[in-house]
A and B are shown apart, each in its own frame.
Chain A
Amino acid sequence: MQRNVIDLKIYDSDDFPAYLPKLNSLYDDLFSGGKGFRAQMIRMMGDSLKLEAKTELLLAQTIEFIHNASLLHDDLVDRSHLRRGKTSAWLKYTPEYAVLAGDYLLARVMVNLSSHGNIKLVAYTSQVISDLLEGEWLQDSVVGDFFVTLEQLDRIHNLKTASLFKWCLRAPFIALERYDEELHRTLEEMGTLLGQLFQRGDDLLDYNIRNHEGKAILGDLKSGYLNSFGAFVCEGLGRQQIDQLVRSKDLEGFYNSIGGKAPFDEKLKAFDTANEKLISLYFHHMDRLKTHLKPGEEKLLTYLDPLTDLLYWRKKPRE
């Protein structure tokens, strides 16, 4: 658990040829500074399921490669200038290099997974990559749409965010050649819920809610993207109010557009209540998961248990 995310950069000596200009320095910039949360999820799964170290590394690297490829593309699509506090790759290197570097990561994923030899894992990973790209495409298509609904955003997040969480939960079982359909459906449900909760928790940071990371305030809104909490707040508001809301320069302006801080807090409470239902559903599926685990694998439940606290409520993990 203590390894740095940058350790995941190399799985195979052929991964990133040194003769390609700027490629390695671009990846060094990209990988350093990341929390590697998804790789940590793989490690906790691997630890509970007694996954071989090499397989665990491959899976952890795979998910980080896919995630980082999506960040490279995302920053270019959103024209974001910063990534993890540093200049974004498309700005520092060139947009062309950023696109190619993202594509190259995805290609390496396929090369490395193929060498592992589990065709079901390759097929599932390909599906996840395609879902992710679909989600990115759709998200870009709703930029500037301030009347989008929470239900519509959930569909995008299910493709873009939840697909990776689902992968983290399912891939270790697939690597172990455990293909029980009921087990995978349960994991898929859990992954979907985790992805949704993570995204909603992340979207709240934009409104300075549980923003321990110090994320920029109203960043999404200012770049023309109404995130899930924004869409929730906008439900039932008139066109004029929404017009005023999207022009908010700061949180005070945002509160004023919906009638003050009190209505904002009420909305937040309602949003939290709705998400508590999702959290209950997550635990319902965790109960179902118990029946699919082999003796000695129950440790997995203790790893999975605090994830909703971590992802939605943004509580610090217990040591």
Chain B
Amino acid sequence: MSNVITLSKSSPEFESYLLGTFSKDKRALPIRTLNANSLQETVTFEIKPVSEINKPNFAVLLIYLLKVRALILVLFPMYLILVKNTADSTIRDPFVVLLSSLGILSAYIAVNLRNDYMDHMKGLDRINPKAGSRVIQRGWMTASQVKNWSNFFVGLALLLAVLVIFAFPAVIGIVILTFSVGVWAQFLKRGSFKYQKGGEIFVFLLLGPLLTTGYHISIAGSWDLESLFLGMLWGWLVVFLQHIKNFEFILINSQARFHNTVTWLGFDKAKTFLKVWWLCFLGMFIAYHLRYAGNFWTWFLGATLAFTAFPFFMSINYLQSPLGSDLVRVRRRGYNLVLMTIFLWTLENVWYWARWRAWGL
């Protein structure tokens, strides 16, 4: 195989092949990885001329690169905060809202791209066929280009954050904290805590309380308890998704020593952990609604979510193997549960918004 090259981590060319900077007109597509995430790592690349790579059109590339489906993770909490502030009539300056919305989206895209880049450099996307956007693996972009785009969006997010800080100086604390957590989680070459036990906390903070509180300040000029509670609730739900995904790949991650809470707990305890995590969410969800919503929505949503969780719980109970199709079923049912939550929550917010429009309540 003349178009194949195998390089070890100790090879001086290794990084340039991973980054894709070894040639301007060729791409190195990893086809096999041995001992990923270790000093003994060896990668076999297939070398292809760029002209031979079937690259999709720009729109499709963007859909993959930006993981458009996953944008809901950031758009939904923003929607919740917007509805809340609309109903409370606390929107101070729509232009600042626009700036902060774009800033949050830029920051989210930056972290996502950096995540793909880090997964590629560490080897996670090479041992896990579902990790990352697959844009690098297919040769559509090089890791180096993804990293540059990530840096661009970091710059854009910071610029927009500075403009928002001018409008509402109170947001500076949140911006600094968010930036620090993001750097700690994804941008350090060594010591990044994404691949450690409990590393999911950065997802909780970035997509949960930091996002909702910061966004709320940029809309209303001050923070409030409800936005913090909303953030905690949403962050908890997003981490639930993360745990499910980690659970699906518990074997792969454990073998390659990519640590997270699920690999630390192991297969049997993680099964219980997922159920407990969901029940905690349900408890917090009901508590939030008891405090901030009416009785009907509290018990209607609570009962519906409790009922729809049964298939998920049953699929976990039935699970026998850390490999195989039953894991996929657990993931699907877990995702459906989250989608159901989002749907019901949206319905509730639409109702509150309509009530506000009709009667100003």
| A interface with B by C-beta (< 8 Å) | 138, 141-142, 145-149, 151-152, 155-156, 181-182, 185-186, 188-189, 192, 280-281, 283-285, 288
Contact = CB atoms under 8 A, between A and B. Distances in A.
A285 B31 CA distance: 13
Given A155-B251, A189-B42, A283-B1, A182 B320 contact: no
A138 B327 CA distance: 13
Contacts of B34: 185, 188-189, 192
B322 A141 contact: yes
Given A138-B251, A141-B323, A148-B323, 4 more contacts: A142-B323, A145-B325, A147-B324, A185-B34
Contacts of B321: 138, 141-142, 145
B325 A148 contact: yes
A182 B35 CA distance: 13
B1 A280 contact: yes
Contacts of B40: 181, 185
A210 to B, nearest CB: 24
Interface residues of B, number: 23
A281 B324 contact: no
Nearest to B325: A147
B326 interface: yes
A19 B79 CA distance: 78
B324 to A, nearest CB: 4
Interface string B115-143: 00000000000000100000000000000
Nearest to B127: A155
A118 B6 CA distance: 30
Contact of B324 (A145, A181, A288): A145
B4 A142 contact: no
A189 to B, nearest CB: 6
Contact of A152 (B8, B42, B324): B324
A281 B4 contact: yes
A55 to B, nearest CB: 26
B44 interface: yes
A90 B1 CA distance: 46
Nearest to A156: B323
Interface in B239-270: 251-252
A283 B42 CA distance: 17
Interface in B1-38: 1, 4, 6, 8, 10, 31-32, 34-35
Contact of A155 (B10, B252, B320): B252
22 contacts: A138-B323, A141-B320, A141-B322, A141-B323, A142-B323, A145-B324, A151-B129, A155-B252, A156-B323, A181-B8, A181-B40, A182-B8, A185-B8, A186-B6, A189-B42, A192-B34, A280-B1, A281-B1, A281-B31, A284-B1, A285-B6, A288-B6
Contact of A281 (B32, B251, B328): B32
Contact of B6 (A142, A145, A189): A189
Q: Which 5 A-B pairs have the closest CB atoms?
A: A147-B325, A141-B321, A145-B324, A284-B1, A142-B324
A308 B247 CA distance: 36
Interface of B: 1, 4, 6, 8, 10, 31-32, 34-35, 40, 42, 44, 129, 251-252, 320-326, 328
Contacts of A288: 6
Given A151-B129, A284-B6, A189 B322 contact: no
A141 B324 contact: yes
A156 B8 CA distance: 25
Contacts of A148: 323-325
Nearest to B2: A284
Q: Which of A152, A156, A181 has the most chain B CB within a 10 Å cutoff?
A: A152
A189 B32 CA distance: 9
B326 A145 contact: yes
Contacts of A281: 1, 4, 31-32, 44
Contacts of B326: 145
A290 to B, nearest CB: 13
A305 to B, nearest CB: 15
B164 to A, nearest CB: 45
Given A141-B320, A185-B40, A189-B44, A284 B4 contact: yes
Contacts of B44: 189, 281, 284
A276 to B, nearest CB: 11
Contacts of B252: 155
A138 B1 contact: no
B8 to A, nearest CB: 6
Contacts of A138: 251, 321-323
A142 B319 CA distance: 10
Contact of B323 (A155, A188, A189, A283): A155
Nearest to A146: B325
A141 B326 CA distance: 11
B137 to A, nearest CB: 14
Nearest to B321: A141
A194 to B, nearest CB: 14
Nearest to A147: B325
A189 B326 CA distance: 30
Given A281-B32, A285-B6, A152 B1 contact: no
A151 B324 CA distance: 10
A90 B328 CA distance: 35
Contacts of A155: 251-252, 323
Contacts of A280: 1, 4
A91 B40 CA distance: 44
A153 B91 CA distance: 55
A155 B321 CA distance: 13
Contacts of B251: 138, 155
Nearest to B129: A151
Contacts of B35: 185
A145 B326 CA distance: 8
B37 to A, nearest CB: 15
Contacts of A152: 323-324
A172 B329 CA distance: 44
A314 B343 CA distance: 56
